[in-house]
Amino acid sequence: MCGILGIVSHSPVNQLLYDGLLVLQHRGQDAAGIVTAEGNTFHMHKANGLVRDVFRTRDMRNLLGNAGIGHVRYPTAGNAASSAEAQPFYVNSPFGIVLGHNGNLTNVDQLKEDLFRLDLRHVNTSSDSEVLLNVLAHELVEVGNSQRLSPERIFKAVSGVHRRCKGAYAVVAMIAGHGLLAFRDTYGIRPLIIGSRQSAEGMEYMVASESVAIDALDFKIMRDVAPGEAVYIDEAGQFHSMQCAQQTKYYPCIFEYVYLARPDSVIDGVSVYESRLRMGESLAEKIRRDWSHLPIDVVIPIPDTSRPSALQLANQLGLAYREGFIKNRYIGRTFIMPGQAMRKKSVRQKLNAISIEFKGKNVLLVDDSIVRGTTSREIVQMARDAGARQVFFASAAPPVRFPNVYGIDMPTRQELLATGRNDAEIAREIGADALIYQDIAALVDAVRELNPALQHFDASCFNGEYVTGDITEEYLALIESLRCNPGRKDVNGMDTLQLDLNLVAGGRGG
């Protein structure tokens, strides 16, 4: 999971890109980067850290130009400390291209070999985003090395990317002297939305991972980028779009609605906030049907993502809703922190219990999901330490039993608490007196009811069904074995422990 942003304006875009990345900061806290275009010249600044720390006044002054792209990256398995893998990436041929990517390529080993042996291109990092950039660059060469690229030729190059690349990808790129290009994978797994606004000089456009960035920058939502579609805004500010894939299917990632996206975003026509309210409603129905014997006194959310679900659950059951945890705003999201020890340590730093809301009460804690279980276990213990008589736990999502290979850091089954355990065993693991999970059918309905055009979703981390059709047991086993067996080299002599874990498990692409 990463955040991407692209803007074409009639005035300097450096401040717009900075403000947009601040709004998308929840999608990545590990690194940030901005590239602006001034004629044929790119200006770039990127580094590890939060947006507010990466960009200083002197950096912003150097980001000249009326078009640009930005990226925020989140840490995953592997070398998260490498500033060389901060995005956007740059390649100087043809024309000069910069690219930012959210997602993960699942055939990256084959792509790297093809780039090295057939396309004669060198990839210098372990990032699938750099691989994707070089595939795009090669396809642009293939469609013709004329001085000017027509929109038709650019879209033909994107068609070549779709033919070669498998997995999930939402992309923003700039071609020097030409314009801004954005496209989405043929399943629409990772989100991408277009906005526009009218200025005195003419229309201005932006693309972003979430609609909240469009709202914050005072643009108006046009529509989502369709699966397999590409949009191109040329230097003159003309907007072009084309379907660039022969076969497409709509399978947006359902975990965006559960956890990843901000509640004030609209993704693929669905309000994230409203979908979470509906998750709370269906969870309340399950409790009323199957768990009515639980003596629940109060419903308490685990901030922040679960608040809408917890509030609606409490309303539906006629129970008191209380805020029992205070969140330290200066601690990052524990789900995307590298290392189990760091995640465990951060929970107590991140949350503090209000004892009066727990003392002597039977408490139902509501969270958006349970992944590794570290946070859940610590929070249940915090509730008990604060004086709770009984602690029940509800998850607005089903059990996470499978790795996500489309850009979310769920690298191995061994790290997932629900893998190989039933609900009672999971409850014991986190120390809860009872555990209620959302049913997967109810989760899908909660989202689909808000946009019936969405008939299918990528819910692979819940059901193990990988929509791209290329994920095998051998593939998943390879990911897990590489964690324990470092040192395997790829065709370029690079360490594929870093390569495969970073790329296959969400990677530097985000």
Going by the annotation, the residues of the binding site for Mg(2+) are 305, 367-368
For residues 368 and 311, is the Cβ–Cβ distance under 8 A? no
Bond prior to 268 in cis (omega within 30° of 0): no
Give the sign of the dihedral formed by CA 487, CA 343, CA 2, CA 91.
Answer: negative
Give ∠ CA 362-368-373 in degrees, rounded to 5.
80
Strand (E) or helix (H) holding 509: none
Nearest-angstrom CA–CA distance, 369 and 360: 26
Nearest-angstrom CA–CA distance, 179 and 467: 32
Binding-site residue numbers are: 305, 367-368
The single residue of 2, 165, 253, 461 carrying the catalytic annotation is 2
Give ∠ CA 303-305-307 in degrees, rounded to 5.
65
Annotated catalytic residue 165: no
Nearest-angstrom CA–CA distance, 214 and 23: 10
Alpha helices in 221-306 (DSSP H): 255, 272-290
Q: How many CB atoms lie within 10 A of CB 449?
A: 13
C-alpha distances out from residue 101 to 159, 169, 290, 303, 498, Å: 17, 6, 43, 28, 18
Which residues are tagged catalytic? 2
